[in-house]
Structure 1
Amino acid sequence: MSAGTNEAARTDRQVAGHDKGLSKGSVGLLGSVVIGVSTIAPAYTLSGALGPTAAEVGTHLPAILLVGFLPMLLVAVGYRQLNRAMPDSGTTFTWVSKAFGPWVGWMGSWGLLAATILVLSNLAGIAVDFFYLALAQLTGNDAIAELTRNVPVNVATCLAFVAVAAWVSYRGMEATKVVQYVLVAFQLLVLLWFSVAAFGHVAGGTAFDGLTLRPEWFNPLGIDSFSAFAAGVSLSVFIYWGWDVVLTLNEESRGAATTPGKSAIATILVIVALYMAVALAVLSYSGISAEGLGLGNEEIQENIFASLAGPVMGPFAILMSLAVLSSSAASLQSTMISPARTMLAMGHYGALPAKYARIASRFRSPGYATVASAVIASVFYAVMRVVSENVLWDTITTLGMMVCFYYGVTALACVWYFRGDALRSARDFLAKFLAPLLGGILLLVFFVQTSYDSMDPEYGSGSEIGGVGLVFVLGVGILLLGLVVMLLQYRRDPSFFRERFETTELPVLD
């Protein structure tokens, strides 16, 4: 029997002491990649992020997407190594706790939970917008699209979307896979259709701006300032965020120690290829002017595809509305996988109350944690929507900060955990030390730079509290809230914080 077969056999037999009761062997490589792509939600993400990113870096949009891809790939290499040694659904929580201790591990997992709750609320909001837009296009009644501006109707529709997503997620991985295969295939097909059509307009001279592809677009050194560079990377990190959901499925994957790592890297490669195709098509078609369909026009930046679909795709524009709707709805469901399994692990190891470790016996899914994720996201969205639409938009930038924080900490946990193996071979040096070290440092630098820049009231939507930018207030407020919750949990049950953190560790075979 080969070493790889031995490894797979060992990793599929989880140590009984840390078996959380999830459905084992329910996800393969293809299903995992589909769920990863779904969580990233390319149609939704590109529609909301291409405009703001282009506003920061202009025609260097392709360059910043490639720069944002690099730390993601480096961090994914570190994640893969950690998963091979400790295939645990807690991922960041489990690995950082093991490397740096329970306090740092708890705060790292808080960054992950905050990011997912923030994006769940935004996903629900985008789903509502495109739901009513699609209804308006189907019926020919433009007034229906305006229902999204009616706050009670908007919030009620949002809660309905979250409830349906939670119901599918609660029913376990089999139900999740069926939904995701259909929705992901549809949005990828429409995005490729849109890109080909946009390039067709450019070639035919009917594009809005009709720019010719230039080599300097791919040069990140041409960006005016480091602040603009960091802001652009922070936004591009948001664009790529979500691939790590496949790692939280490790206890439910066939080949727990190997499949999640492979699918994480495969997901990132698929996404960067798709993003480059769409970004180049949009940039060539629209340009970066602040007028009309230019990417610099603030009036269309929050929802690029809503403005471009008609001119680019003509009578088939309805497909783009349906694609973004399906993208946000699919991601709303698949994104719940990550916080639910993180809270499951935290409850299992005693970092949260034991009720978070409850498993739905029929579906073998983290039932209580899934419902808790849905409720928290719903309350957050309802409150933010009532307060201000700008507050909700600023949460996207805040999300980028949270992602840089917890990805960076997890990558450095890989470096520290494998410090004794780093010089064993050239492969170990690259995979367990150099790649995660560079990725972690880059992301933490971007976190610090973006945090500093976001103190400016002009950052983000321009909203402020006491002369300080709202993005900074939200970011710092979320981290401080995590600190308070951690201290309350310590006071309630200090055993997790006082004992040596132990988890299932398996030998890593080369």
Structure 2
Amino acid sequence: MKNKFVQRLLQKEDPSVYQLKDGNLDPTLTTLDLIGLGTGMVVGTAIFTLPGIVAADHTGPAVPLAFIVAAIGAGLSALAYAETASVLPFAGSAFSWMNVLFGEFFGWIAGWALLAEYFISVAFVASGWSAYMQGFLASFGIQLPKALTGGFSPQQGSYVDILAAVAILIVGVLLSRGVHQVSRIENTIVAIKLIVIIMFVVVGATAIHPQNYVPFIPTHQPGTSFGGWTWIMAGASQIFIAYVGFDAIAANTAETKNPQKTMPRGLIGTLVLGTGFFIAVSLVLVGMFKYTNYKGNAEPAAWALRHAGHYITANLLSIVVIIGIFSALIAILLASSRLIYAFGRDGLLPKTLGHVNDKKVPNHALWTITVLAMILGSVFPFTFLATLVSAGTLVAFIFVSLGIYTLRKRERHDLPEASFKIPGYPYLPAISALFSAIIFWNLNVDAKLLMVGWFALGLIVYFGYGIRHSVLNSRQHP
């Protein structure tokens, strides 16, 4: 009986089943669309918010080093993602891949980790948008009632972030019209945003004070989470939110033209472009003002420009951020709706979530994640969300990196050969998994406790509902 139960947990999905079911989705995304989605997410809220917060809390002027460390870990994972996506071009990314490679239980664990990442990421991005919108309105003397300006924090007088909820709702409406139309909007927003980021770097560079870089790596202050290489690693862990864009790209593999070639190009292009912009922005930001000025500041880039006397550029940046952060919301709400769709497609959540309408949109999944994200984004404070979001990403990265070993054994047997292969096999996948595990270990206690609680809830859902309603129950696989 025990062996039968274990065999059921490890029962693998036939990739041809996913190929058939995902045929209802519309493959319209190109390499440029994927880079637009990925860059929209990677160079989203995080580039305008996290450099200042991480510099003040952990790294001081050395925040670019934290971005480089995070980029190395994310880059290794991106290579693993690229190979897996080229062989298994299905919706749901790591959830679907692990179902095929390791079995349903491991697929559920990977997918459940991603769901935490997506929920928190949508809320985090929307909260960042709200902070910039409030700063922009305040420059014209417009103030919202304090109770509506932030997550639930009675001691600060805020109870609900109404602007965050509105932002998520608007994006949900846009996505309900179809992925092809949204990708055009996304590419336009990303192009404008990159131009303004370049403008920030150029204008901000004229206000750099070299003394703000000294000492570049501050010594550790005992009893705090600031200073030294240990806290650069902690900063890298918090910054990892910037790289969830990789999974946001991969979740849309089933809606990509020629995914065997397009997906690796989109993933690697996003990594290179995003990392370059992060390093440039963070260097300029900590050079303009001493890092302590950015403590708890959710709009440090615009703040720095205003206080350096560049009011027109600051307001232009705020306007573009207000519009541009929508590109990150589009990318992650799109990816999260495809993950929820994949859960419904496989029967692990109610099958109605796997419904695809006549516009080839999984509308039930989309509106489920939209409503839940509106609640989460309007209730939880921005800085709290920023510390939690990376955990689910790192768990998924570990799974995908280790999955390469099983994938290679099956390529050219019951799976096609990858058009892109991670170099340095068999060493690099292990290094990638280890790197993500180290960064996970450096997350704060709240993030790790959240994941323990989230996985406990996931086990209850799986054994209470998922395993009994799974479509695998009606089929036998070797």
Q: TM-score range by the shorter chain?
A: 0.7 to 0.9
What does 1:293-304 align with in structure 2 at a 5 Å threshold? 293=293, 295=294, 298-300=295-297, 302-304=298-300
User: How far apart, CA to CA, are the structure 2 residues paired with 1:177 and 1:337?
Assistant: 10
Is 1:20–1:348's contact at 8 Å kept on the other side of the alignment?
no
Q: Which residue of 2 aligns with 1:118?
A: 120
Q: Which residue of 1 aligns with 2:384?
A: 394
**Pair 86,428 (structure 1): closer, same or farther in 2 beyond 3 Å:** closer
User: How far apart, CA to CA, are the structure 2 residues paired with 1:19 and 1:69?
Assistant: 31
For 1:404, the aligned partner's letter is L
Q: Which residue of 2 aligns with 1:381?
A: 377
Is 2:343–2:354's contact at 8 Å kept on the other side of the alignment?
yes
Q: Which residue of 2 aligns with 1:458?
A: none
Q: Which residue of 2 aligns with 1:418?
A: 408
**Correspondence for 1:34 among 18, 33, 36:** 36
**Pair 63,316 (structure 1): closer, same or farther in 2 beyond 3 Å:** closer
3-state SS, counterpart of residue 430 of structure 1: coil
3-state SS, counterpart of residue 201 of structure 1: coil
**Pair 51,316 (structure 1): closer, same or farther in 2 beyond 3 Å:** closer
Q: Which residue of 2 aligns with 1:51?
A: 52
Once the 2 structures are TM-superposed, how far is the Cα of residue 89 of structure 1 from its aligned partner? 1.2
For 1:105, the aligned partner's letter is G
User: How far apart, CA to CA, are the structure 1 residues paired with 2:145 and 2:271?
Assistant: 34
1:193 aligns with 2:195: no
**Gapped runs of 5+ residues in structure 2?**
1-15, 152-157, 219-225
Q: Which residue of 2 aligns with 1:496?
A: 472
Is 1:37–1:243's contact at 8 Å kept on the other side of the alignment?
no
Once the 2 structures are TM-superposed, how far is the Cα of residue 162 of structure 1 from its aligned partner? 1.5
Once the 2 structures are TM-superposed, how far is the Cα of residue 46 of structure 1 from its aligned partner? 2.2
Is 2:73–2:435's contact at 8 Å kept on the other side of the alignment?
yes
Once the 2 structures are TM-superposed, how far is the Cα of residue 420 of structure 1 from its aligned partner? 6.5
3-state SS, counterpart of residue 244 of structure 1: helix
User: How far apart, CA to CA, are the structure 2 residues paired with 1:500 and 1:492?
Assistant: 15
Q: Which residue of 2 aligns with 1:81?
A: 83
Is 1:65–1:233's contact at 8 Å kept on the other side of the alignment?
yes
User: How far apart, CA to CA, are the structure 2 residues paired with 1:308 and 1:410?
Assistant: 39
For 1:305, the aligned partner's letter is A
User: How far apart, CA to CA, are the structure 2 residues paired with 1:73 and 1:67?
Assistant: 10
Q: Which residue of 2 aligns with 1:253?
A: 256
Is 2:66–2:233's contact at 8 Å kept on the other side of the alignment?
no
Once the 2 structures are TM-superposed, how far is the Cα of residue 266 of structure 1 from its aligned partner? 0.3
3-state SS, counterpart of residue 350 of structure 1: coil
User: How far apart, CA to CA, are the structure 2 residues paired with 1:433 and 1:129?
Assistant: 45
For 2:434, the aligned partner's letter is I
Q: Which residue of 1 aligns with 2:130?
A: 128
1:311 aligns with 2:307: yes
Deviates more, 1:167-176 or 1:150-159: 150-159
Count, aligned residues: 443
Is 1:398–1:474's contact at 8 Å kept on the other side of the alignment?
yes
Once the 2 structures are TM-superposed, how far is the Cα of residue 442 of structure 1 from its aligned partner? 0.9
Once the 2 structures are TM-superposed, how far is the Cα of residue 93 of structure 1 from its aligned partner? 0.6
Once the 2 structures are TM-superposed, how far is the Cα of residue 331 of structure 1 from its aligned partner? 1.4
- When normalised by structure 2's length, the TM-score is 0.84
Question: Percent identical across equivalent pairs?
Answer: 17
**Pair 58,109 (structure 1): closer, same or farther in 2 beyond 3 Å:** same
Q: Which residue of 2 aligns with 1:342?
A: 339
Q: Note the aligned Cα RMSD (angstroms).
A: 3.1
- When normalised by structure 1's length, the TM-score is 0.79
Is 2:285–2:301's contact at 8 Å kept on the other side of the alignment?
no
What does 1:220-299 align with in structure 2 at a 5 Å threshold? 227-288=230-291, 290=292, 293=293, 295=294, 298-299=295-296
**Gapped runs of 5+ residues in structure 1?**
1-12, 218-222, 456-469, 503-510
User: How far apart, CA to CA, are the structure 2 residues paired with 1:113 and 1:52?
Assistant: 25
**Pair 497,80 (structure 1): closer, same or farther in 2 beyond 3 Å:** farther
For 2:149, the aligned partner's letter is R
**Pair 71,123 (structure 1): closer, same or farther in 2 beyond 3 Å:** same
**Correspondence for 1:355 among 343, 349, 352:** 352
Q: Which residue of 2 aligns with 1:101?
A: 103
Once the 2 structures are TM-superposed, how far is the Cα of residue 327 of structure 1 from its aligned partner? 2.6
User: How far apart, CA to CA, are the structure 1 residues paired with 2:19 and 2:304?
Assistant: 54
